[in-house]
Structure 1
Amino acid sequence: MALALFPLVSFLFLLPTSSVSQTVGNITVGASLFAVENSSWISPSRDFAFGFHQLEHNKDLFLLAIWYNNILEKTIVWYANGDKPAPRGSKLQLTSDQGLVLNTPQGEQLWNTQSINGVVDSGVMDDSGNFMLLGSDSILWESFKNPADTILPSQSLDKGVFLSSRHSETNFTSGKFRMVLQSDGNLVLTTINLPSDHLNEHYYDFNTAGNSDQVVFNESGYLFVLRENNTKSILTSVVTGSAKDFYYRVTLDFDGLLILYSYPKASNGDASWTTVWSQPDNICIASKVTTSSGFCGFNSICSINSGGRPICECPKGYTLLDPTDQYGSCKPNFTQTCEKEPAAVEDLYDFQVLFNVDWPEADYALLEPFTEGQCRESCLQDCMCAVAIFRSGDKCWKKKLPLSNGRFDTGLDGAKALLKVSKGDVHVPPLSPDFPNQEMKKKDQDTLILVLSLLLGSSGFVNFILVAAICLGFYFIYQKKRKSTLPQNGGVVESNLRCFSYKDLVCLLPFEGGLSSMYTEVNEF
């Protein structure tokens, strides 16, 4: 029996590292993980895992990530392929020349550890949450120096290294928020204009400009900027719990807040992450940006909910461009044009009045002194105007689309936003059935030409018969129509009014003399 089992045991040892969670020390070159459930390398303390995390919205897609492993909520603290999730069966392999390489089952490379300067001897998932690739005498690559949206205790960020938010809580594609230590030593929170890396004006400034070298998050749970003279600029508030009893993380959340979280290690599964400190207090009014939408998307309004988190909402008459992205841009449900409208603007548009709401940076005209009524009328009659802000008793700012930096701000002292909206589907009566289009006119003209040609080529008796037939035909056809509607004003007129087309619309009224008198033309409407 022992001899029979020997080939099987030998075969198992020859297989690459399996796709089952393993507690490991060093990971040897050639080891691999596959994108399936429970596929990870776990740190010796079991606090952290490195491997494939299954996405919630699609169970056949996986994120290469690091997460807190000892708690019920497997919180992700680092990820590599947010923009290119790995399909089921994809393979991650540790190589000596490229480090970690992630390929799809078809061989397409999704991600690798770039800039490896040396030969990789092994990898290690350590108890601080840092995954490292080791050479003979140095660290060749580490997740701590290539962060995603989170910084962990004992981790530091050098100048130019940044945290980048994810797109949403469950969507790990690139978000628009960043935390970066600038070359001047100032730590700021800012936005970028995706898909580029263009940095907008920062929306929060930690005022650390000067001889600052690093952002440090120490093991006691304090976030600070370390200066060249070894002094510290403490950024976070006092941490009350010991690092021995709590997990800590600082995350640039998808909604732009930088938050220090804590989680009790001795949890029975009923705990959750608690906010210890966060900035800014009100991201909606933190700053304005000139070349972007601001915190929310274009035409949206930012406000703070009861939990202190920012939310974005489309105003009445607008809906989200992407229904799945509540922080995205809003589109108007109607089209305002500077071409001649089908009805008076008073019949097409009205105003939604919003208090303490503004969209700075969208102004194109300031009218003063102006009353609120004049402000309304000016915006109503202006095909460029999407909203007018009436403020300070006599000032009227007119704004154009797209509206940017939308926010609710009680500091606006009761300012009124007069948002132009559609009154709904305005009923425009269809053309009168007697009002011919150009195609009908052409057909009528062609028919008349044909009839005239026949008349000219026929004898007098035949002509008489044809004229009589035509007159009787007109009489019987139009006699059935007892009422007519003029296309210009839609009013009901004389029941015997008859309209037909020959080159232009002609409406005729009967003489007292009856059919033999035919009709007289009505030239005025």
Structure 2
Amino acid sequence: MAYLPVLIYLLLISFCKCDDQLTQVNRLISPSGKLVSKSGVFALGFFSPATSNQSLFLGIWYNNIPERTYVWVANRDNPITTPSSAMLAISNSSDLVLSDSKGRTVWTTMANVTGGDGAYAVLLDSGNLVLRLSNNATIWQSFDHPTDTILSNMKILLRYKEQVGMRLVAWKGLDDPTTGDFSCSGDPSSDLQVFVWHGTKPYYRSIVLDSVWVSGKAYGSSTSFMYQTYVNTQDEFYVIYTTSDGSPYMRIMLDYTGTFRLLSWNVNSSSWAIYSQRPAAIGDCDPYGSCGPFGYCDFTSVIPRCQCPDGFEPNGSNSSSGCRRKQQLRCGEGNHFMTMPGMKLPDKFFYVQDRSFEECAAECSRNCSCTAYAYTNLTITGSPGTTASQSRCLLWVGELVDMARNNLGDNLYLRLADSPGHKKSRYVVKVVVPIIACVLMLTCIYLVWKWISKGEKRNNENQNRAMLGNFRASHEVYEQNQEFPCINFEDVVTATNNFSDSNMLGEGGFGKVYKGKLGGGKEVAVKRLSTGSTQGLEHFTNEVVLIAKLQHKNLVRLLGCCIHGDDKLLIYEYLPNKSLDHFLFDPASKFILDWPTRFKIIKGVARGLLYLHQDSRLTIIHRDLKTSNILLDADMSPKISDFGMARIFGGNQQEANTNRVVGTYGYMSPEYAMDGVFSVKSDIYSFGVILLEIVSGLKISLPQLMDFPNLLAYAWRLWKDDKTMDLVDSSIAESCSKNEVLLCIHIGLLCVQDNPNSRPLMSSVVFMLENEQAALPAPIQPVYFAHRASETKQTGENTSSSNNNMSLTVLEGR
């Protein structure tokens, strides 16, 4: 019995031992028990805030500096109110468990590992409390559960798969570690920015991947700094902060006022020095949206203050009310983009990938709702340890919020309306004797050149007249007194900058298409047919003969032609938007095609075909109707193009047979692809395919649905199973008119029926589209044949086709 007090004393010493490890044998008991990291940098133990001795918390703090600085708290929202004998221990299930004097669990790691005998916890010199199994496998660590502080080498997970990652939460007050009002996390909708939140409202926003923070950024002095690195893998997006060797203690914290601070320990003053903080200062315009819509916080001035961009004016005396335009934007009227350098980019953007700078600018220019765009080339750290480059095209629609100007930002391109009555400035040129002499000499040279080239021009004009005369003699579409415009070759060369590659809009099977600007500023599209191509000459003849006198708002307009030696040129009206397939099958662009726009395109194509088949003087069969041959003007109205494959029916002719099947597999009707028989019903079949593509946003080949041979099979299955609405493009499913969509799908299935006699005429199609209450017959299941060249019946020596995603002739705006 005499040795019993000694045994109890030794047992208490083992319980209160100051070490860096905690095992299942020993425990950490308040108030004096604590763990100290191996080099004495950090300590884990119990503490009470200065304002209250009745609340006990378990936390980690710097151990060897005089100012007590906490970096992590375990039970911040569940303090121990009877602090006499709190205890931290490792349970049989390998969990760290904090309990009060009554044995009630206050906090636990909830690792729940079975068979975890020999588990232990260790406090590292990095400030990380790690729970490990006997084989040293880590099953929990405090770095994965931060409170308000980021330490060196801590991996801050901003996103995991599609979910927001970690969240820093500030203290309630200066001496109150409970959960406060401010928090920090990644943007739920983008990897490109981080927010400080005040409750659920944004308080401060930082763009993390701009031209400066591409791979990292250093803070501090020349001898010590903290470096941040963003890493973006397939599943994770996180940031890691590291410090240079020999640096003093450095930490990042979100304090109770919502300020993000980078702090470094100053040995001389024995205090924490602030290297950086955001927002910059309480009361300035740095917090989120302080300057209102279209206003920006100008950090280039001595005192940061709200400013309005050029072309804007304050919207009242209060700077938080933002700015308003001096002249409102109007779709279709003149406007331009103003460059704002060094900008913190606004919030609420659309991120469009895989775009060049020119494509990004064009994407915004052709969308009247787009108010601004920005572009940056990014190089981000990948996995494992690699880098990958990608472009960043950001678009904004509506108001711009939370902008700032500094010397390290990006260029923002803001749309402004052109000033009324804007005229080109005129300059008075003072003529001196040497300039007069040069002008006279150049005039003489020009006159000599003009005299020499006059004969060549006359020969070209005669050649034009002769060939067009042959057209008039061999095609009844031309009347004897018709004068079709022949455009001078030199004018076309000047308009296209000598057929420069920078002016090229596209390339097809029979030549290239260039953008040009004729005298007077008229923009045109010039198709230059391949030199010496027999099919090219046939294509040229078809285009001139067929659409020279066709005038319809849904057909592309041929303005003139030119023959110069072997060069054969067709000049069309220029359309600023690209073809329908560019918008329909591009995930980043299809949002521009809302349902009213798609329905307008469907009706427009139907009216254009009705004109070709019935309302013009001749019956014209297009034979290559597809989404890439439907061009869109500035108002997204459709225009049918590329008549190089077209044929004329005269008199009472109903169908014809060809020795050379031309067109695009998938859009060709079965009787045409297999037997070479074509008629107006062939175009109606192609229209049905296009109609189903517009509604579904899917290509006819349907590579993403492996269970079906093509889109027709998929659409029929959904129709048969009474699941027709499942065919609708997800981007318009919530906003479209159900009656109109079902009507279009029904008409599309009628148009793609195997028997040509079962397909409706275009006059019936237009009537059905304009009259939703009209009674429609039930469609018959379409035939699904494989669209391969080897399965097409060849009735002659030559068979011509194009792939589903490639037009024989591309004529598009850019």
Structure number with higher helix proportion:
2
Structure number with higher strand proportion:
1
Q: With structure 1 as the length reference, what TM-score do the two structures score?
A: 0.46
